[in-house]
Amino acid sequence: MKLRTRISLTFVGLVLAGVALVGLLSSLAIQKYIETRTIESLHGRLEVLSQLFARGRLSVDSLGGSDAELGSIARTLNVRLTLIRRDGTVIYDSKVPRDSLRNLENHGNRPEVGAARRGGTGSDRRMSVSVNEEFFYAARMITAAQAGALDSGFVRTALSLNDVNAVDRRVGVIVWGVGLLAGVLTVIVSFQMSRRITRPILSISQTAQAIRDGDLNQRIPVTTHDEIADLARAINEMAEKLGTDIAQLRKLERIRSEFLGNVSHELRTPIFSIQGFIETLLDGAVDDASVNRDFLEKAHRQAARLNALLNDLIEISRIESGDMKMSFRYFDVTEFLESVLEEMREHAARKSITLELLADGTAGDRVFGDRERLKQVMINLVDNAVKYTDSGGKIVCRATHEKSRVELSVEDTGCGIPQEHLPRIFERFYRVDRDRSREVGGTGLGLAIVKHIVEAHGSAVNVTSAVGKGTSFSFSLKT
């Protein structure tokens, strides 16, 4: 074998070994980073739950009365939630039915619980015998002064490693796939290109090291158009995607935190009001004919508000989990709008507001969608328009034919929405004017439900508004 051939083969072998090493380092570095971020996120969720228990915002009922609320919070935070007494007895687990809790082993000797007992917080990674899944565990001890029903016990959160392992595998496939591609391309590179190849590989190694250390802003400079440049671009794209995923996880964490706080606040207000009215009645006002009926009516209104809020929360949960099934059919759009306005006419008349339908150009048009869900959308939009339109105003429901679609809109002459609030009005519990929103009623979830239903029909809600002139909401449906 010629010396030059031997040198070329040696060079190719070294390059392939280098690519394999880079792929291994990158895969391990990214895997370690993902697991580290996952553990940090799990501890963050544990901190949120611990604070809620410590401040009395959450509690556990040994008879199961609080199970639904705890289960909803566990699903919102995407964790397995376990509550453990100081003696190791499990009194709640979001993954285990209540009637099966007595079959669970005593958890006092679990590594994370033992560490929490000694230092306040503990963590572990292992296979769960009760649900046959591998989890990251994090536990925190609640002091006697804070614990209430937990009796100086422990709050434990756990995160299934199924999704984390799936991401690790996808990253491994990408890294090793890119490495294999680079190796195949390198085989056809001549010995004279060795210097050009070595420098980019060194840069790739340094960037992979930086990514492993958590610097996802690092990028490999791409100055050529060869195979190594393809590898550099692929790793740059991978780092970009990973950075985007991390940013989305942080945003999701923020949204979940805000949602939990908003739910707690929105539920607390009517509950405290009802409690206050009832306590006043029990203290003697029930025998005072001048005030007892007034207090009962106020308590009834707050109970109705609480019921509406819970119904909307259930609706949002069903939509986002995919449990709400749609029944798509063709129906007459004009007759549909007439039925909506007929249902809302008495409501509008109480404020001397005129309801008008403009659908001459769509007479006989049939649109495709879930009629009942779309009626929910239109009634919600008209109801909002009535709430924020002064007495003597006007609301127009309009249907306009556009090619193969019909656009539906609700336009009012109300107070309007400031431009800076428009991007956020479809967020759950977002209120432009909190004082007025509570005065006119509503749960703060109506527009979020409208957005989800319209998007399920392959459309989007558009909104235009001018302060003091009015607001228009519109979306389109297939014909």
Residue-wise pLDDT for 204-224, tens only, equals: 777 777 777 777 677 777 777
- pLDDT band (50, 70, 90) for residue 4: very low
Taking the model in full, what pTM does it have? 0.44
464 has pLDDT over 90: yes
With H, G, I as helix, E, B as strand and everything else as coil, classify residue 87: coil
Q: What is the fold of 329-478?
A: Heat Shock Protein 90 (3.30.565)
- Cα 155 to Cα 122: distance, rounded to the nearest angstrom: 11
Q: Where in the chain is the domain with CATH 3.30.565.10?
A: 329-478
Phi, psi of 102 (to 5 degrees): -65, -15
Residue-wise pLDDT for 50-73, tens only, equals 888 877 788 888 788 888 889 998
How would DSSP label each residue in 257-280?
HHHHHHHHHHHHHHHHHHHHHHHH
Mean pLDDT of 20-41: 77
First-residue to last-residue Cα distance in the chain? 74
Host H or E run for residue 402? strand 394-402
For tokens 């769960």, the residue is 128
CA 131/CA 134 separation, integer angstroms: 9
Burial zone of 318 (CB within 10 Å; 0-12 exposed, 13-18 middle, 19+ buried): middle
Q: By three-state DSSP, how is residue 353 classified?
A: coil
Which regions of the chain carry the CATH code 1.10.287.130?
260-321
Q: What is the pLDDT of residue 310?
A: 75
Q: How far apart are CA 420 and CA 405, in angstroms?
A: 30
Residues of the chain with CATH 3.30.450.20: 57-164
**Per CATH, which fold does 260-321 belong to?**
Helix Hairpins (1.10.287)
Average pLDDT of the residues of the chain: 80
CB atoms within 10 A of CB 420: 8
Average pLDDT over residues 242-271: 69
The answer to whether 77 and 259 are in contact (CB under 8 A) is: no
Coil, strand or helix: which one is 88? coil
Query: Residue 29 pLDDT more than 80?
Result: no
Lowest mean pLDDT among 121-135, 258-272, 302-316: 258-272
Q: Which CATH number fits domain 57-164: 3.20.20.70, 3.30.450.20, 3.55.50.30, 3.90.1170.50?
A: 3.30.450.20
